[in-house]
Copies of this chain bind each other. A is one copy, B any other.
């Protein structure tokens, strides 16, 4: 008894604890699985096939690992086929190319087939749908165990296939599935949709938290982007959940990374005030790229929906994978794992980083603590610039076609990669400008800070800012974006640049297209989502929106003068989800509201109990003897008698406190009430008389009509 009481009080915390633990473990498994599969495209660890490249090389105890990270125990497919280790001719290259493409096609086909056969809901990032679910709409099975299982497996395969997608968005969806499944273990949450949404909010925070190792960013993302209602006590629980998940993932340590952040960066130099100008320019570019991406992607998704292409999802995936792997392999920057690319672009040149993009003339590193001096770009940098430019174009185009296919696909990583490429290129440009003015002829705003030989421009920082800008342009996130970026990189000092770029990107993006990618996909799919951020600024009244408009009759029940036959006829001839109850057809004064579901169940239960229920029996929706029921005078009002004219007592299923509004209420207020109170319908009255009803669908249609969009595009269950 005591245990049950404590269990009830603590079940919320226990539930988010379990959700956090499971989300962390799930993320760990997926990270490990995806890495192993990705490495399988390049080679194999013959001594222990279940190890990935890094683990395989660890197990070999070799101290010298060559620059590409290969070791003797790890065999590339070229070596497996019998080519020697250092052979680099066309046959070896072609062999690797062939295996790379073959594995990619295999993974992608498997992934798409799994989704198509077992869990169609597992496709996409899932964030638009979760937003819709949290706003009160129910999609059965969307957060079920099959979706979770299939999505986990197929996201690993999709990532390993080298498609231009990330596993971060799907991780939010999978965390929400975990939350939904585990909520059923706790009766307080499993049985109450509103309470369950609190768990889902916490789970989505945990999802972002494990995806990026950013617990605070996760909570803010859940608050800003995903959740609809966010009671403050949920904030604390979500934070707890996100932190537990991040902690578990960190303990599993799938990346073998000492730092708890994904792309840990540390720059020697602070940013300079005049650098705000290029940062703002990056923000503008990010906003432009984001808006362009959204427009093209929505155009393509609409085409897919309307054409015959939509009928061949697996074929589409195979074709896109083929294009991706054929085009990606030749370019070093697209061949590598996208996370590695981002990390490379974020990092600053130094002793530990001898990549092509760090090939400067007159710069030799001998000591870790040595200051980086300003230098002219060498041929490696110029080559890298070309390759990066091509990579950007390729990523942009292929991601437009990838996002929206019937496989699990997130957008964070591709957006970050595009942004990082743009940023790094701008950063190198800035650096070379400063280098060319270097010395005496430096303009006034550089002087002082850049006068010394030390480099004052860090291209890696530009990559970071650019990544934030493009991600902001695509998703239109704001605070959560800045916090995620800063948790992702550990760059506490760079909040101001990140903020400047995110702001510029958001403004430019909003000017070119109101909706972020998630809202655009919600709108594309016609989900009934009442955006909490849009302001309703029209001056229409409730009377203009309510159903029925003029002349048409409203389907209502009277409280005590209708027979079962009449009630059933109304039930059969309409498809409304509920019906208002009025005193009488003459007076129209409102009594209450009854849901179709409850009424159908009550009638069915009645028929089960009593064999012969006369359709002429009077249906009572009230307990108080009204004028109408006086007609029946001597009949008892209770149910259960076998007298066929005995009235049927249905008052228990009537909601006696429906939300009502006056007909003169401005729609602005009505929309506000729908959002804040989470209403599904409200009754419109004038001086106490029922005039009509406004449902959520009516509100959504009205908003669409006011915005000159097609009001019929909204789906309802």
The residues of B that contact A233 with a CB separation of less than 8 Å are 533
| Pair A235/B479 contact, Cβ less than 8 Å | yes
| Pair B591/A215 contact, Cβ less than 8 Å | no
| Pair B215/A224 contact, Cβ less than 8 Å | no
The residues of B that contact A236 with a CB separation of less than 8 Å are 478-479, 506
Decide yes or no whether A524 CB sits under 8 A from chain B: no
Decide yes or no whether A61 CB sits under 8 A from chain B: no
Q: Can you list, as one digit per residue, whether each of A224-247 has a CB less than 8 Å from chain B (1) or not (0)?
A: 100000011101100110010001
Decide yes or no whether A394 CB sits under 8 A from chain B: no
Decide yes or no whether A499 CB sits under 8 A from chain B: yes
Cα distance A538–B299 when bound, in Å? 52
Decide yes or no whether A522 CB sits under 8 A from chain B: no
The residues of B that contact A663 with a CB separation of less than 8 Å are 657
Decide yes or no whether A669 CB sits under 8 A from chain B: yes
Within 8 A of B (CB), among A667-690: 669, 672-673, 676-677, 685, 687-689
| Pair B657/A479 contact, Cβ less than 8 Å | no
Interface segment out of the listed A44-52, A323-331, A355-363, A489-497: A489-497
Within 8 A of B (CB), among A467-517: 478-479, 482-483, 490, 492-493, 495-496, 499, 503, 506
The residues of B that contact A56 with a CB separation of less than 8 Å are none
Decide yes or no whether A350 CB sits under 8 A from chain B: no
| Pair A215/B495 contact, Cβ less than 8 Å | yes
17 A–B contact pairs at CB < 8 A? A215-B495, A223-B232, A232-B532, A236-B506, A239-B478, A260-B493, A589-B589, A591-B687, A656-B664, A657-B663, A657-B664, A660-B685, A676-B677, A677-B677, A685-B688, A687-B688, A688-B688
**Which of A243, A589, A659, A662 gathers most chain B CB within 10 Å?**
A662
Within 8 A of B (CB), among A258-273: 260-261
A483 contact from B216, B669, B676, Cβ within 8 A: B216
A499 contact from B240, B591, B659, Cβ within 8 A: B240
Q: Can you list, as one digit per residue, whether each of A577-607 has a CB less than 8 Å from chain B (1) or not (0)?
A: 0000001000001111000000000000000
| Pair A239/B688 contact, Cβ less than 8 Å | no
The residues of B that contact A661 with a CB separation of less than 8 Å are 657, 659-660
| Pair A479/B239 contact, Cβ less than 8 Å | yes
Given contacts A224-B232, A232-B533, A240-B503, contact A492 B490 (CB under 8 A): yes
4 more CB-based (< 8 A) A-B contacts, given A231-B533, A232-B533, A233-B533: A224-B232, A590-B688, A656-B662, A660-B662
The residues of B that contact A592 with a CB separation of less than 8 Å are 662
| Nearest CB on B from A199, distance (A) | 16
The residues of B that contact A224 with a CB separation of less than 8 Å are 232, 235
